[in-house]
Structure formats: C-alpha cells, structure tokens
Amino acid sequence: MAEFQGLGFDPVPGSADAVAEAARSCSAAAAKLGDAPTPGEIPEWAGPSAQALADRAGRTRAGLAAVPGALREAAAVLDGWAGVLAAHRRQAEDLDNQAVTARRKLVDAQDDVERAQTTVQFSPGTEAELTAAHDNLAAVQRELDQILDQARDLERAHTTEATRVAERLRALGDGAPLLATPDFRSLATHLDTFSRAGRDLGVIVARTPVTPPSGAVGAFTAALGGR
C-alpha cells in the first residue's frame, strides 16, 4: 500500500476528517428535524377515522422528537472518535517513519554481512569483523521488530476504541424498535468507508420510540442527506 510502507500495514484505518464531517452532518440533520413542522391535532368530534389519524399524528410527533437528540448524541460520539483517530494517525505516522529508517539500516547491515563473509574467504583473520556485522544485523532487526510490535499494539488499541465507539453508537436509543421502513443504506455505506464504528450509525438513527408513517421516514432520511 502507498501509506505506511515502513510498517507494511495500516494500524489505524479510518479518516478523522470524514468522521468529523459525519458528525457535522448529524448535527445539521438534528437541527433540520428540530425545525420540521409536525402534524396538528384532529378534534375528537371529527369521527373515528379522523381520531385514528390524530393518534397516528401523535405517535409521529413522539417518534420524531426522539431522533434529533439521538443524532446530537451520535455527533458528540463521532467528534470524540475523530479526535482519537487523528491522534492514532500521528502515532502511526511516527512509527512508520521509524520503520522506514530501520529498514534502510537493515539493508545496509545485510550488505555489511555479505561483504564481511566475502572478506573472510580471502582474508583469514577477519572473523571478528564478520561477527560484528552479524551482531549489528541482529540489533537492527530487533529495532525493527520492536517498532512493528508497537504498531501492532497501536492497532489493537485502535480496534478496541473503534469497538467501544460502535457500542456507544449502538446504545443510542437502545430498547426501542426500528422504524418500519428505514432507508439509511447510503449513509451507512458512506460511514463504512472511514471506520468500522460508522457501520452502526445507521442503526442508531433508525431507532425511535414508535413506528411513524413512511412520510416521517422520508423527511428524516432527507435531513440526513441520504437521498
């Protein structure tokens, strides 16, 4: 891969900028939903059909009322994750720079061993130089191994934190049923491009205490930019 050539792998997958942008989108969607008009009450004297519609309108209001709060909480979680991602990225870049330097030293040390081996064949008594070359090669290899171990530790810490963030996102609105016809696939797909935690955001924003009609779902999705 182009990045992290010294490490040979990406220990901190994700984009802090993309996560921060998702957080801003959630905040903006919450604001839009907060400003959205809700259905008015229908008087009871209008008849059973009208009353049924009024009941549905009430459930719709209750459902939509919970969504902006969930979005604002998701935005806060994502803001924090963006900061962690940025910090982890800096650590990974520093380790990668160290690994690049160590790999160059390793190549030089391997060359020194080959030269010393050739010298010993034609100049008896130079075994000490060969031993020193081997010792240096082993030391440089240990240095590289230690850097790679630190990168793997960072990778584990990054994965653990991503899992924790995903659990926090899943917990938003926990215990409530999902919308009957959620359409957040495009949002979930976008989030999946920058972090494993993002895959769960579509579940959080789909949770409300009731099952509003499809019109409410459409308004919610439009506010998120999902269509």
Q: What residue segments make up the domains of the chain, in order of their start?
A: 16-224
CB distance 119 to 129 below 8 Å = yes
Task: Report d(CA 70, CA 68) in Å as an integer.
Answer: 5
CB distance 12 to 85 below 8 Å = yes
Task: Report d(CA 215, CA 200) in Å as an integer.
Answer: 23
Burial of residue 124 (CB within 10 Å: 0-12, 13-18, 19+) is: exposed
Predicted local confidence at residue 9, as pLDDT: 95
Predicted local confidence at residue 168, as pLDDT: 87
CB distance 26 to 74 below 8 Å = yes
Predicted local confidence at residue 170, as pLDDT: 82
What's the chain look like in SS3? CCCCCCCCCCCCCCCHHHHHHHHHHHHHHHHHHHHCCCCCCCCHHHCHHHHHHHHHHHHHHHHHHHHHHHHHHHHHHHHHHHHHHHHHHHHHHHHHHHHHHHHHHHHHHHHHHHHHHHHHHHCCCCHHHHHHHHHHHHHHHHHHHHHHHHHHHHHHHHHHHHHHHHHHHHHCCCCCCECCCCCCHHHHHHHHCCCHHHHHHHHHHHECCCCCCHHHHHHHHHHHCCC
User: Which regions in the chain score pLDDT beneath 50?
Assistant: 1-2, 175-227
Q: What pTM value is reported for the model?
A: 0.67
